Amino acid sequence: MPREWHIAGRKLLLDQHTLVMGILNVTPDSFSDGNQFLQSEKAIEHAHQLVAEGADLIDIGGESTRPGATPVEFDDEIRRVVPVIERLAKQLSVPISVDTTKPVVAAAALNSGAAIVNDVSALRFDFHVADVAAKAGAGLILMHSRGGPATMHGLPPVPDIVGEVITSLRESISIAEKRQVKRASIVVDPGIGFGKTQEQNLELIAQLRQISEAFVDYPLMIGTSRKSFIGRVFDGAPVTERLHGTMASVAVAVLNGADIVRVHDVKAAVETVRNVNAITAMRT
């Protein structure tokens, strides 16, 4: 039976190739591309570029989740994402995801044409996000994280990060399914960078197969793009010099079971996963 991800109005096949989700931040303060696409016209143009480079999905966020980010009121977040989603939903053939932890923002985005909700709190901040996704039949991405933007890097590390991720995501899945989100609509994400140490981020990528096997009924997404753990591996490399490190982590993640990779640099990621998929297809 083919592996599928059910999102609002369609099914995405996961057996053919690793899906690439392109990141579009319409924020003034995201760590990598803050303020670049805050204007709707620039955001629309960039989304078309990501699709032209091969993105299978576009993830649009109106609130930065970087450490220390300033919280955004829901009405401001809606004003940032909804006009972009409304236009892109009419122009693009690929599904649109909204990156939010707020039910009211998720509902506005889904009503405007989005098909997926990407919740970086995995329902910890507000479990009513699951109600919104269930009502719309939308895809729901549950990402593991610890704390919030203001506290995540001040938390003491857990002794077993792989076990913590698996346990926490199982709890989030249970909440989602109890609130009528269909199993076939849920994706899990280990949450690279969100309340983890440098060593734990590397460990999660290295041990991703263990997480994939713990969630055989759920597609696995991972987002390593341009993150600070890559900069530390390269002795403090800035965001603009983390492309090759990102693609190395993408390749390892795909080899270890990732079904979806979330990236800023779509063309490089598409070429990376295509090559990895071609190699793994020759396994006997």
Whether pLDDT at 12 is above 70: yes
pLDDT in tens, 111-159: 999 999 999 999 999 999 999 999 999 999 999 999 887 777 778 999 9
pLDDT in tens, 242-277: 999 999 999 999 999 999 999 999 999 999 999 999
Percent with pLDDT over 90 in the chain: 85
| Spatial separation of the C-alpha atoms in residues 29 and 278, rounded to whole Å | 37
Name 61's bridge partners.
25, 99
Domain count, the chain: 1
| Spatial separation of the C-alpha atoms in residues 79 and 217, rounded to whole Å | 36
CB 136 within 8 A of CB 129: no
pLDDT in tens, 199-236: 999 999 999 999 999 999 999 999 999 999 999 999 99
Which of these, 154, 249, 256, 269, lies nearest to 201 by C-alpha position?
A: 249
CB 15 within 8 A of CB 258: no
How buried is residue 161: exposed, middle or buried, by Cβ count under 10 Å (0-12/13-18/19+)?
Answer: buried
| Spatial separation of the C-alpha atoms in residues 10 and 233, rounded to whole Å | 40
| Spatial separation of the C-alpha atoms in residues 177 and 75, rounded to whole Å | 28
| Spatial separation of the C-alpha atoms in residues 33 and 75, rounded to whole Å | 22
CATH value at residue 91: 3.20.20.20
Provide the edge-to-edge strand list for the sheet that holds 57-61.
186-189, 139-143, 116-119, 96-99, 57-61, 19-25, 260-263, 221-222
- Which residues span the domain enclosing 144? 4-280
Which DSSP symbol is given to 220? B
Catalytic residue among 66, 146, 179, 227: 227
Which DSSP symbol is given to 71? P
Enter the pTM of the model: 0.94
Active site residue 178: no
Name the strand (E) or helix (H) holding 46: helix 40-52
User: What local confidence, expressed as pLDDT, does residue 17 receive?
Assistant: 93
Which DSSP symbol is given to 241? G
| Spatial separation of the C-alpha atoms in residues 259 and 20, rounded to whole Å | 9
CB 221 within 8 A of CB 141: yes
User: What local confidence, expressed as pLDDT, does residue 69 receive?
Assistant: 66
Catalytic residue among 10, 262, 267, 283: 262
Q: What is the mean pLDDT of residues 14-43?
A: 78
To 10 degrees, the CA torsion angle through 62, 63, 66, 69? 140
Active site residue 42: no
CB 233 within 8 A of CB 270: no
